[in-house]
Structure 1
Amino acid sequence: MNVLILVVDDEPDVTELFRQQFRRDLRVGRFEIAFAHSAAEALQRIQATAGPTLLLMFSDINMPGMTGLELLPLARAARPEVPVIMITAYGDAETRRQAEAAGAVGVITKPIDFALLKAEIEQRLAARAGTA
């Protein structure tokens, strides 16, 4: 299956955390995970990923330079079919409202609940398999 999930976070340890949590899925090739450590890098990755391969994007909100909230409308404009879930250490109502108003399909708080992320990915994979 040629499916890509993009994770955008400026913290390098997040890359290793995602790789550990999804190591079985990655090993058997259920999907790939790409990492961008800035909003600018994420935009380059989004624009370089053509076709239906980009399944889902997770983005941290607080990053230096361009924030995740600033990235969100640009990502949605470039790939409107790709759902974006925002990740934040601050799960207050205003942050959630801003993210959803900008086009996020959800907001999850840190520490990341990987069971919730896995369920979200499974749902997206099942929907994609139903349309393939």
Structure 2
Amino acid sequence: MKILVVDDEEDVQSLFLQQFRKEIRNHEVEFDFALSGEKALDYLKDKHSEVVLILSDINMPGMSGIELLSRIRHDYDAPPPIVVMMITAYDDEENKRQAMENGANNYLTKPLDFKLLKENLKNLRT
């Protein structure tokens, strides 16, 4: 399963690679990373058919995660749709409402509960 993580904080990459080292080694998941919404859209131009899941931060400079979500739902709506989970440090109802209205499949808060995330991923594979 190919997962694209979109977050402007570079240390997120090492965190995901560490938390999922067993799953990566077993070829259960493969990660790619984009440091902005704009870079995520560039990545998706060529590889959208490979990506099963996008984990996107909401608060990023430039394009927000909500704007990215809206673009993904508009530009890449062909079946099967990409699963998009929003991740934010701000657990407020307005961000959650906007994310769900724009087509988010889930809404997770930082610090990420990786055990919960792995459970969500198992549900995607079945």
- Percent of pairs identical after alignment? 46
Measured against aligned partners, the alpha-carbon deviations of 1:6-59 in whole angstroms (never above 9, x if no partner) come to 1000001110100001011111211211100010110011121153x3111110
1:72 maps to what in 2?
69
Question: Following TM superposition, where does structure 1 have runs of at least 4 consecutive aligned residues deviating by more than 3 angstroms?
Answer: none
Which of 23, 26, 29 pairs up with 1:25? 23
**Number of residues paired by the alignment?**
123
1:10 maps to what in 2?
8
**2-structure distance, mates of 1:97, 1:23:** 33
> Do the aligned residues in 1 keep the contact of 2:53 with 2:83 (CA within 8 Å)?
yes
1:47 maps to what in 2?
45
**2-structure distance, mates of 1:71, 1:50:** 14
**1-structure distance, mates of 2:73, 2:98:** 15
2:55 maps to what in 1?
58
CA-atom RMSD in angstroms: 1.0
> Do the aligned residues in 2 keep the contact of 1:47 with 1:78 (CA within 8 Å)?
no
TM-score (norm 2): 0.93
Q: Structure 2 counterpart of 1:102, which letter? A: N
TM-score (norm 1): 0.89
1:121 maps to what in 2?
121
1:87 maps to what in 2?
87
Measured against aligned partners, the alpha-carbon deviations of 1:58-82 in whole angstroms (never above 9, x if no partner) come to 1000000111011111112232200
